[in-house]
Structure 1
């Protein structure tokens, strides 16, 4: 097995879709998965989809990486947006899968320039909208 920390390739589509989310706001979220020793795009969430759609797109028993573009209004009534990186590693996923995702996370995250916050979650309560809001403010 290749060294997962340094041997994990990142498909060019991952960076391309992330740039579209960041610059053109083409997507609300992107879910990534590791497949055949590389990170690939798993799902794209349209700009009108919300956080519930995003949370529902994560599998209950498999790890994923994801980015979510969170829009909010400050107390000064200013529209803002923050990009969250979510490392989804449910307790029910296989140990080997958890290890591969954990060892590859930092390298993959470095490929995505513009992430402001990171959330690590093992069940939906650890990435609730309240947690996202608390981090953004």
Structure 2
């Protein structure tokens, strides 16, 4: 089942910008995190919720900031350019999150769940698609690390798992 909610053109443009990072581009201008909401029949970027590398430089923990965007009783989608390290090497991959907390109204949760497919059709090539319904599911970086890859040892420069 799909909703009649459409994806705004701006979302496609931002997604393409995030996935096609150019090596010669100013890394401080790189989009790292975007909050999307359904508004008036469209999935669109929430005003003021595009965070570039330079916006996150003063954050001690980018992952904690990412989690802080998920408010109780408010559903949203997040595109997150996650920087992490595995036992083998550092990685930068996009993560798509649908935040539909158990505390949100049922109708709102249903709208986000049924609209997710419309958005997923545009977000081709994303390796990590997560649905989060309870903040405690991902409060621990180890739980998040398990979802994105078994040998993750750091998320956003912070140790999250120890391997022997």
| 1:39 to partner: Cα distance | 0.2
* Aligned residue pair count: 133
| 1:6 to partner: Cα distance | 4.6
TM-score (norm 1): 0.87
For structure 2, list consecutive stretches of 5 or more residues without a partner in the other structure: 22-26, 57-61, 150-164
Runs of 4+ in 1 over 6 A off after TM superposition: none
Classify the secondary structure of the residue corresponding to 2:66: helix
CA RMSD of aligned residues (A): 1.8
Give the equivalent residue in structure 1 for 2:100. 89
> Residue 80 in 1 paired to residue 84 in 2?
no
In the aligned structure 1, how far is the partner of 2:125 from the partner of 2:33?
14
Give the equivalent residue in structure 2 for 1:64. 76
In the aligned structure 1, how far is the partner of 2:130 from the partner of 2:2?
20
Q: Do the aligned residues in 1 keep the contact of 2:7 with 2:118 (CA within 8 Å)?
A: no
Which residues of 2 match residues 1-137 of structure 1 at below 5 A?
5-24=2-21, 26-42=30-46, 43-47=49-53, 49=56, 50-76=62-88, 78-128=89-139, 129-137=141-149
For structure 1, list consecutive stretches of 5 or more residues without a partner in the other structure: none
Please identify which structure carries the higher helix content.
1
TM-score (norm 2): 0.74
